[in-house]
């Protein structure tokens, strides 16, 4: 079992040093950043990668890394403003870093983990298959209400797969059951519904850290 003192994979000092210099050169020469901007962005990239590398290690709480990442981003924004008076990088650093800090603190207080929804470790092929089945089920329900066996036969899928798709649609409030029949709510299907629902989810997720300031 890995411990906190075990080195992260692929962290040879020579390799990481060369990678760091390469990133600074890339941002400074190729993208035309000022050298202070290039250094700040490189620091943020390296810290972000360290968070991803450390995420799978047992005993490490990703919320602590998110908190550290936010503090580093805020510090990087302060350095950019102090060294070059760069308000753009400073705003991104303070704004983005501050949000990460608040989000980490709120998650720690409420005991929220990033994989609480069970989707983080899902296999990509499994996700694609679930999406495909969900789409097929929705298309069949457009022709009228059907039972699970009818949907399984029409979609050429097992009944368990169809039930999973129906549970997803039920959670998304795009389908509902009346007895043994399942109905599709077409008012919540389509581009506008997708934009509306996802905009609401994004807004709720963005505002979540600010609940820290709401008295419990």
Residue 118's pLDDT is what? 44
Residue 77's pLDDT is what? 81
Residue 146's pLDDT is what? 93
Residue 213's pLDDT is what? 84
Residue 109's pLDDT is what? 87
Q: Would you write out the chain's pLDDT as a tens digit for each of its 216 residues? A: 344 334 444 445 666 667 767 777 777 776 667 766 677 667 666 665 555 555 555 556 778 878 888 888 888 888 878 877 778 778 878 888 888 899 889 988 888 876 554 444 444 456 566 677 888 888 889 889 999 999 999 888 889 989 988 888 887 778 889 999 999 887 766 666 556 666 777 788 888 889 888 876
* Cβ-contact 170, 134 below 8 angstroms: no
179: left (phi > 0), else alpha (psi -120 to 50), else beta?
left
For the chain, the domains span 13-110, 124-187
Give the orientation angle of helix 124-141 with respect to helix 148-155, to 10 degrees. Answer: 110
Environment class of residue 147 by beta-carbon count within 10 Å: exposed (0-12), middle (13-18) or buried (19+)? middle
Residue 35's pLDDT is what? 66
Beta strands in 132-195 (DSSP E): 175-178, 181-184
* Interior/surface letters 17-29, b for 16+ CB within 10 angstroms, e for the rest: eebeeebbeebbe
Give the orientation angle of helix 159-171 with respect to helix 148-155, to 10 degrees. Answer: 110
Residue 61 has which token pair?
């709480």
Residue 22's pLDDT is what? 74
Residue 9's pLDDT is what? 45
Residue 103 has which token pair?
């989000």
* Interior/surface letters 150-159, b for 16+ CB within 10 angstroms, e for the rest: bbbebbebee
Fold of 124-187: Arc Repressor Mutant, subunit A (1.10.10)
Residue 151's pLDDT is what? 92
CA–CA gap between residue 206 and residue 65 (Å, rounded): 19
């Amino acid at each position: 079992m890995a411990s906190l003192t075990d080195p992260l994979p692929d962290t040879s000092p020579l390799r990481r040093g060369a990678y760091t210099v390469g990133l600074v050169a890339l941002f400074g020469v190729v993208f035309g950043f000022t050298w202070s901007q290039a250094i700040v962005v490189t620091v943020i990239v390296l810290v972000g990668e360290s968070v991803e590398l450390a995420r799978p290690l047992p005993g490490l709480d990703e919320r602590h890394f998110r908190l550290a990442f936010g503090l580093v981003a805020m510090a990087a924004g302060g350095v950019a403003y102090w060294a070059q008076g760069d308000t753009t990088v400073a705003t991104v650093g303070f704004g983005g870093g501050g949000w990460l800090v608040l989000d980490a603190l709120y998650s720690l207080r409420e005991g929220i983990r990033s994989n609480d929804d069970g989707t983080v470790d899902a296999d990509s092929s499994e996700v694609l298959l679930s999406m495909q089945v969900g789409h097929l089920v929705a298309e069949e329900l457009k022709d009228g209400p059907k039972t699970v066996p009818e949907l399984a036969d029409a979609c050429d899928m097992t009944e368990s797969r169809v039930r999973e798709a129906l549970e997803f649609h039920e959670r998304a409030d795009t389908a509902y059951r009346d007895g043994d029949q399942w109905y599709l709510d077409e008012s919540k299907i389509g581009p506008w519904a997708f934009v509306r629902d996802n905009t609401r989810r994004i807004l709720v997720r963005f505002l979540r850290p600010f609940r820290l300031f709401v008295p419990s």
